[in-house]
Amino acid sequence: MAKFPFQSLGFTPEMQRDFIKLDLGPALQNSIYKNTKLMILDDQKLFIVTWMKTVLSDPEASKYISGVAVHWYVDGVLPSDIMTLAHNLYPDKFLFGTEACEGSMPWQKKVDLGAWDRAVSYAHDIIIDLNNWVTGWTDWNLALDLTGGPNWVSNNVDSPIIVNYEKNEFYKQPMYYILGHFSKYVVPDSIGLNVNSPAHKPLIEITAFLRPDKSVVVVILNLGYQPETIELTDDVTGYIPLTIPGNSIQTVVWWLS
């Protein structure tokens, strides 16, 4: 894209549809990479409905496409169920979060060591995504230095792990531990469960999964500053009373037999 600050490639949905249909799709199909999962969009959720309708309505393009990739940067101004709307359009295509980070906005501090609010932002977004058919969530950065780099166009941001190379140290941020509640406990091949969250506790956010070993995992986020008492009820095994401290996250696992 001309005059964009770093290397990038721009498509309209029509251009991407035709490129996949006429060029990329056949090339992948006839290559040693024929099992590659091809995702479209790879941009903001704001565009997802129009993009999917334009690209996936063409069966000659759709047959090469496995899923739709999205970023999180405008999630705060979008309805939380936009990904469910997208899923309902083409339920055979998976939805995948491919980019998210804190410190990306001009007014934000690039690296904010120990910032719990950034961890909460991660947890909130992940829970909303998982409850709306999104099958994965990707941080943009595995590790960065104390400036939020290196980055050749000064696009410095925050990261779950910050490396202090002068002291030969690295710091695991709250974002790192938040990610662990999902990456450690929501294992591959887990199946999302419907959760009836308490309507009178709007600051409690919950996501739940049935894991391959027949255990249930529930991740609970309390966005408020006061502790909240809830009950996890399972028709098979009973119930668990819990108190969730203010501004905290908890993960609960139990087995069905």
| Mean pLDDT (10-residue bins), the chain, 257 residues | 84 98 97 95 97 99 99 95 98 98 96 98 98 97 97 95 98 98 98 88 96 97 97 90 97 93
Contact in structure between 130 and 119 (CB atoms under 8 Å): no
Q: What is the predicted pLDDT for the residue at 205? A: 97
- Cα angle 172, 175, 178 (rounded to 5 degrees) comes to 110
Residue 67 bridge partners (DSSP): 39, 94
- Cα angle 153, 9, 30 (rounded to 5 degrees) comes to 130
Residue 41 bridge partners (DSSP): 69
Tell me the angle at which helices 116-130 and 174-183 cross, rounded to the nearest 10 degrees.
20
Contact in structure between 162 and 170 (CB atoms under 8 Å): yes
Please give the C-alpha separations between residue 203 and each of 180, 241, 255, in angstroms, as whole numbers.
21, 17, 27
pTM greater than 0.85 (yes/no): yes
- Neighbour-count burial for 159-183, b at 16+ CB within 10 Å, e otherwise: bbebeeeeeeeebebbbbebbebbe
